């Protein structure tokens, strides 16, 4: 039988990589400069919030391998639902095709994590 802990951990790595790849492409294309030059002022609190959000999939990589079954299952379910909804809400705000593609891919990883965690029987 497949080890669900390893699968969940790999899904969180894949999720984070899709976010990071989007960030790299945004920087290389110049889209990040356009986003940052908009009307919104980025404070230290906003940057901290962004850092916390992006740290969650990284932490989930480790947590998925180490937490006991029951807690692990529910933490993965909650985190996967949260990131799926968060990405779905933000999806319309991105105009580039590469961003939309990578966000849809990350949502696919979230759905797979949700499915594996939900169907996980110890």
pLDDT of residue 37: 62
User: Tokens 């039988």 correspond to what residue?
Assistant: 1
**Spatial contact of 69 and 60, defined as CB atoms under 8 Å apart:** no
pLDDT of residue 1: 40
Q: What is the mean pLDDT of residues 54-78?
A: 97
Instruction: State the pLDDT confidence band at 95, using cuts at 50, 70 and 90.
Output: confident
Q: How far apart are CA 120 and CA 122, in angstroms?
A: 6
pLDDT of residue 122: 81
Annotated domain spans of the chain = 4-118
Whether residue 49 is predicted with pLDDT greater than 60 in this model: the reply is yes
pLDDT of residue 62: 97
pTM of the model: 0.90
Q: How far apart are CA 42 and CA 36, in angstroms?
A: 8
Burial environment of residue 83 by CB neighbours within 10 A (0 to 12, 13 to 18, 19 or more): buried
pLDDT of residue 32: 76
pLDDT of residue 34: 66
């Amino acid at each position: 039988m497949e080890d669900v802990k390893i699968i969940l951990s790999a899904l969180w790595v894949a999720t984070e990589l899709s976010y990071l790849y989007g960030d790299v492409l945004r920087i290389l294309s110049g889209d990040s400069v356009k986003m940052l030059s908009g009307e919104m002022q980025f404070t230290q609190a906003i940057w901290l919030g962004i850092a916390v959000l992006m740290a969650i999939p990284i932490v989930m990589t480790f947590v998925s391998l180490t937490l006991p079954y029951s807690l692990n299952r529910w933490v993965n379910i909650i985190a996967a639902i949260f990131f799926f909804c968060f990405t779905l809400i933000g999806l319309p705000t991105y105009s580039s095709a590469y961003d939309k593609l990578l966000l849809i891919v990350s949502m696919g990883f979230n759905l797979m994590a949700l499915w594996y965690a939900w169907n996980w029987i110890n």
